[in-house]
Amino acid sequence: MAQADSKKDLHADQDPNKINLGIGAYRDNDGKPWILPVVKKVKQNLLTDPTLNHEYLAIDGLRTFTDASAKMILGADSRAIKEKRFLGVQQISGTGAVLKKGATVYISDPTWGNHFQIFGDAGFTVKTYKYWNPATLYYCLKTADSGSIFVLHACAHNPTGVDPTQEQWKQIAAIIKEKNHFPFFDCAYQGFASGSLDKDAWAVRYFVDAGFEIFVAQSYSKNFGIYSERCGCLTVVTSTEQQAINVRSQLCRLNRASISNPPAYGARIVNAEDNLRTMANRIIKMREETVRHLTDLKTPGNWSHITSQIGMFSYTGLTVAQVKVIKEKFHVYMTDNGRISMAGLNENNVRRFAEAVDYVVR
């Protein structure tokens, strides 16, 4: 109620210099909402993609998105992913509603205020653990009833902004294991704590590597700045592939009853961003491979510009005459000014391309 009143006051306040420090959304240096350039780009692509329509998604959401979500939090080389001991189900962020009712859920004190409502409304007994003094946190973990659910902020704890150190996470994991508690990670800020998606996933990945089954509620509101698109994913790591199949089907049932069908737009944005990252990484790799092969062939000249240039294109520095020879003799096509699209190179043709360049510059 107090929060609603203060929001009303904020909107009613006509002072042009008012400062809103209550909002949990990113603002730029001018205090304006910021649409990430990548989101803008993806939106433009979505507008012109002839394969997109407004049909229902599957009940568990856009599979490419939920798989990308799992990869983002668990790591692309996660054993759980390789062994198919994971699943992802698209959510509208209110992920608390999907666990077994009747269990006791421990949330941190203090925490994001909505945790009380989410877990309370879903029929859990909600208790709190003291945060942040490691000694009292360990004490709470040790004295809680065995088999309780502990909601842990994966990174960038809200509201304290204090995360456990890696040593403290190890201690937390050890007690959770000893007490047979269940770790439920709330991950609303991946990338915000350290600037690195991987670093911010450290705790989650540590638990998975230590053999835990876990739930991770992932929100894309903040790290993609798509608050109103309600884009989230519940990623679950199980012990076996069969359990993952079973849990997916249970979560589908719950999704069907609570939201019927998840929204597509935010998932498409995040999914496409994953594609963008994949593309960017592949192009960088092809730049490196091109230079590696040219070095290997002892091709005359300095080719370091190929790796220092960024984006999709590269100016090779080849002359019009050389471009012509490459085309006629090697069937390699580029613009007359020697510009190549790095995206046209792949593991199978990069050596051939380097050999062609090597031939014409000698």
Token pair in block for residue 120: 């309370």
CB of 7 to ligand PLP, least distance (A): 15
- Alpha-carbon gap, residue 333 to 183, rounded angstroms: 55
Q: What residues does 88 pair with on adjacent strands?
A: 235
| 186 binds ligand PLP per the rule CB under 6 A | yes
- Alpha-carbon gap, residue 251 to 256, rounded angstroms: 8
Catalytic residue among 60, 163, 186, 200: 186
Token pair in block for residue 362: 């000698």
Comparison of 184 and 353: residue with beta carbon closer to ligand PLP: 184
Contact (CB, 8 A) for 108 and 131: yes
- Whether 336 is catalytic is no
Query: Would you give the binding string for ligand PLP spanning residues 153-182, x where CB under 6 A is met?
Result: x----x------------------------
Comparison of 192 and 359: residue with beta carbon closer to ligand PLP: 192
- Whether 222 is catalytic is yes
| 229 binds ligand PLP per the rule CB under 6 A | no
- Alpha-carbon gap, residue 141 to 129, rounded angstroms: 8
| 218 binds ligand PLP per the rule CB under 6 A | no
- Whether 109 is catalytic is no
Query: Looking at 96-104, 163-171, 219-227, 305-313, which segment touches ligand PLP (CB under 6 A)?
Result: 219-227
| 299 binds ligand PLP per the rule CB under 6 A | no
* Surface-to-core class of residue 120, CB atoms within 10 Å of its CB (0-12 exposed, 13-18 middle, 19+ buried): middle
- Alpha-carbon gap, residue 357 to 316, rounded angstroms: 9
- Alpha-carbon gap, residue 339 to 275, rounded angstroms: 24
| 190 binds ligand PLP per the rule CB under 6 A | no
| 124 binds ligand PLP per the rule CB under 6 A | no
Applying CB under 6 A, the residues found at the interface with ligand PLP are 24, 93, 112, 153, 158, 186, 188, 219, 221, 227, 232
